[in-house]
Amino acid sequence: MRAIRHTLRIALATAVLSIPAVASAQPAPLPSWNQNAVKEAILAFVEATTREGSPGFVPRAERIAVFDNDGTLWVEQPMYVQLAFALDRVKALAPQHPEWKSKPPFSAVLAGDLKALAASGEKGIVELVMATHAGMSTEEFAKIVTAWLDGSRHPRFQRPYTEVVYQPMLELLAYLRQKGFKTYIVSGGGIDFMRPFTEKVYGVPPEQVVGSSIETQYEISNGKPVLMRLPKIAFIDDKAGKPVGIERFIGRRPLLAFGNSDGDQQMLEWTAAGRGSRLMGLVHHTDEKREYAYDRSSDFGRLDKALDEALAKGWLVVDMKRDWKKVFAFEP
Amino acid sequence: MRAIRHTLRIALATAVLSIPAVASAQPAPLPSWNQNAVKEAILAFVEATTREGSPGFVPRAERIAVFDNDGTLWVEQPMYVQLAFALDRVKALAPQHPEWKSKPPFSAVLAGDLKALAASGEKGIVELVMATHAGMSTEEFAKIVTAWLDGSRHPRFQRPYTEVVYQPMLELLAYLRQKGFKTYIVSGGGIDFMRPFTEKVYGVPPEQVVGSSIETQYEISNGKPVLMRLPKIAFIDDKAGKPVGIERFIGRRPLLAFGNSDGDQQMLEWTAAGRGSRLMGLVHHTDEKREYAYDRSSDFGRLDKALDEALAKGWLVVDMKRDWKKVFAFEP
């Protein structure tokens, strides 16, 4: 509550002075955000933390901004993109694994029986991931991911997944970088599934991507060093794992954090507990027409406890329908 | 061999053209390096990879340079600095652990019996590390490290450890950054032991430090989120672990890598296996008078197999005595 109150206070104090000054120098930031209190809170926070002489000024080196990926930067419905990848890989690899026809959870995937797949639970999903994400070198895996992203389409929008990304969030990433922030992705998704596209799509280089990972092993193969991907989980960057991942990879507490689900709750709490003013944001999926509407009972990207905490503590809740002028760049 | 031959060829081609041009614009780089083939190879490599239009030009985003810490950037004799820290912490904590007086390896430390300590082997060292590095929050640990670094002195040089750093390597780090390289530390040492000082001492920010780590756990303590340090190893960033750490934290292959021991061998191999020209370097400790002379039989920073590979493959071997005009900034 204090953080947002502080933010709004600064907004009132600085809006008249600083925002027009910026607008005259370059195009107004965040054009796909509607002009309302949410957009103003973001602009005011960034101005207050980056304008020299401001009481809330934060040195450039400490301007760390972290973003969840699934549901925060790109679409996570009707299922996580990485799960769609795993299912497609099972189908592609099935001819080499005749035993999969009668072996759950593979049999469920091959029969297109998503209900049976769901019944296989987390154990089943982990089995699918290991069968499709391990057993090759890191370089081979990156090529497989890139080829799949190039060749597949989102079932509803009929666009490559890398186009089904939120235009307002791309603008926020770019605006923050322009203001000296270092933008990171901190996702429950696989780090090696994201790195092949994050630089091109989000402007986030591989070294600023934090995610879940499996073990790799250094080997010499035909006289050449390779890192082989092993079917063993190394780190799960979700829920209470997100602050752990942030501390391990970045070693600084974020100044700004954006998520959209209960998987981001601890990351936002960890951010909020830092000294001075911090910005914690949630993307609330409220727009069935342009995207999807879901929260407390969704299988993917459930937003329940984190929404309660956000409302109680005055974190920024972005209402997609109300706050975004445009959701995707490809909209008419 | 190819890499160094390529480097030297470029050196001949570019030395006359490009180095004087740089020299006229700003102070000549690497002033504490003697003017010889080693210095020239470094300058030529950096020029060839960073000068626009050069056939070996590498885009700024891909200019990743990785440095080992112990024995490459700061002194690792008569023992690793972090081991000196652990021994001092055992002594400081002993009053709260009366049982340590008779319990190896703690009893060996308290009796000052380094021979008995060595006999406790890796298991003993891990026990010491866990007793001194775990059981507190990440913030508390950073404060303990900072206070210790401020208060302790290197036994021979009688300076804070953060001053017993190699001046020529500081110059190399600064020169690389000036040329658009992102400089990383990739060390077997503890990531949380290094981060409190690397920015100030080396100009390397916390998010560019890769190292060994123990597990941490997110907890709410007195209503405040903390990351508690657990007595369990998470990752050993040494030997074959270094390429693994590089891939996990950075996700790009280095263009340049510097180490000084067998612990760096795989990191240099991984770097060398990249496309195009790469620079692999070893600091060879040959100067008993100004620093220390050790290699194939040293307990700390043993350099044996990596030296053979470097000599066989034509990697750059920096002879401290021959190549460095000055070792420490505090030298007369």
Q: For residues B254 and B37, is the Cβ–Cβ distance under 8 A? A: no
Min distance B186 CA to chain A CA atoms (Å): 12
Q: Residue A77: which H helix or E strand, with range?
A: none
Per-residue model confidence (pLDDT) at position A25 = 62
Residues 6+ apart with CB under 8 A from A273: A253, B224, B225
Query: Are B225 and A249 an interchain contact pair (Cβ–Cβ within 8 Å)?
Result: no
Chain B CB within 8 Å of residue A115 CB? no
Per-residue model confidence (pLDDT) at position B27 = 84
Per-residue model confidence (pLDDT) at position B286 = 98
Q: Within 13 Å and on the Cβ side, how many CA atoms surround B96?
A: 6
Q: Report the DSSP beta bridge partners of residue A67.
A: A185, A258
B269 to chain A: which residues are within 8 Å by CB?
225
Q: For residues B133 and B86, is the Cβ–Cβ distance under 8 A? A: yes
Query: Are A240 and B224 an interchain contact pair (Cβ–Cβ within 8 Å)?
Result: no
Higher pLDDT residue, A20 or A226?
Answer: A226
CA A176 – CA B213 distance, rounded (Å): 30
CA A273 – CA A166 distance, rounded (Å): 28
Which amino acid is located at B93 in the chain? Answer: L
Per-residue model confidence (pLDDT) at position A17 = 42
Counting one residue from A and one from B, how many pairs have CB atoms under 8 Å apart? Answer: 81
Q: What is the mean pLDDT of residues A274-291?
A: 98
Q: Which two tokens stand for residue A138?
A: 């890191």
B138 to chain A: which residues are within 8 Å by CB?
247
Residue A4 pLDDT more than 70?
no
Q: What is the mean pLDDT of residues A38-53?
A: 97
Per-residue model confidence (pLDDT) at position B324 = 98
Min distance B196 CA to chain A CA atoms (Å): 10
Chain A CB within 8 Å of residue B119 CB? no
Q: For residues B324 and B283, is the Cβ–Cβ distance under 8 A? A: no
CA B177 – CA B182 distance, rounded (Å): 6
Query: Are A249 and B249 an interchain contact pair (Cβ–Cβ within 8 Å)?
Result: yes
Q: Which member of B205, B244, B250 has the closest CB to residue A61?
A: B205
Cα-Cα end-to-end distance for chain A: 38
Per-residue model confidence (pLDDT) at position B24 = 53
A207 to chain B: which residues are within 8 Å by CB?
64, 182, 249-252
Using the CB atoms, write b or e for B61-76: b if 16+ within 10 Å. ebbbbbbbbbbbbbbb
Chain A CB within 8 Å of residue B273 CB? yes
B64 to chain A: which residues are within 8 Å by CB?
207
Q: What is the pLDDT of residues A110-163, one digit of tens each?
A: 999 989 998 998 899 999 999 999 999 999 999 999 999 999 999 999 999 999
The DSSP secondary structure of A290-308, one letter per residue, reads TS-B--TT-SSS--SHHHH
Per-residue model confidence (pLDDT) at position B25 = 61
The mean pLDDT values, 10 residues at a time, for chain B of 332 residues are 46 43 70 98 98 96 98 97 97 97 96 92 93 98 98 98 98 98 98 98 98 98 96 97 98 98 98 97 98 96 98 98 98 90
Per-residue model confidence (pLDDT) at position B154 = 98
If we measure between CA atoms, which residue out of A305, A296, A237, A318 comes closest to residue A269?
Answer: A305
Query: Are A243 and B224 an interchain contact pair (Cβ–Cβ within 8 Å)?
Result: no
Residue A19 pLDDT more than 90?
no
CA B46 – CA B28 distance, rounded (Å): 14
- Phi/psi for B318 (5° steps) reads -85, 115
Query: Are B249 and A250 an interchain contact pair (Cβ–Cβ within 8 Å)?
Result: no
Q: Which range, of A2-6, A59-63, A285-289, averages the lowest pLDDT?
A: A2-6
Q: Report the DSSP beta bridge partners of residue A282.
A: A259, A317
If we measure between CA atoms, which residue out of B142, B268, B133, B265 comes closest to residue B198?
Answer: B142
Average pLDDT, chain A: 93
Q: Which range, of A20-29, A285-294, B106-115, averages the lowest pLDDT?
A: A20-29
Q: Which member of A64, A209, A227 has the closest CB to residue B243?
A: A227
Residue A22 pLDDT more than 70?
no
Tell me the percentage of chain A whose pLDDT exceeds 90: 90
| Confidence band for A26, pLDDT divided at 50, 70 and 90 | confident
Min distance B20 CA to chain A CA atoms (Å): 33
Q: Report the DSSP beta bridge partners of residue A283.
A: A318
Strand A279-284's sheet: what is its strand order? A224-235, A209-221, A182-190, A64-67, A256-259, A279-284, A316-319
Alpha carbon distances (Å) from B278 to A45, B64, B221: 43, 11, 48
H-only helix segments in chain A: 2-25, 37-50, 81-93, 106-110, 114-119, 121-133, 138-151, 167-178, 191-202, 241-249, 265-272, 305-313, 320-323
Measure CA B146 to chain center.
18
Q: What is the pLDDT of residues A184-218, one digit of tens each?
A: 999 999 999 999 999 999 999 999 999 999 999 99
If we measure between CA atoms, which residue out of A305, A295, A315 comes closest to residue A239?
Answer: A305
| Confidence band for A11, pLDDT divided at 50, 70 and 90 | very low
The DSSP secondary structure of A159-221, one letter per residue, reads S-GGGSB-HHHHHHHHHHHHTTPEEEEEEEEEHHHHHHHHHHHHS--GGGEEEEEEEEEEEEE
Q: Which member of B217, B241, B273 has the closest CB to residue A225?
A: B273
Per-residue model confidence (pLDDT) at position A24 = 53
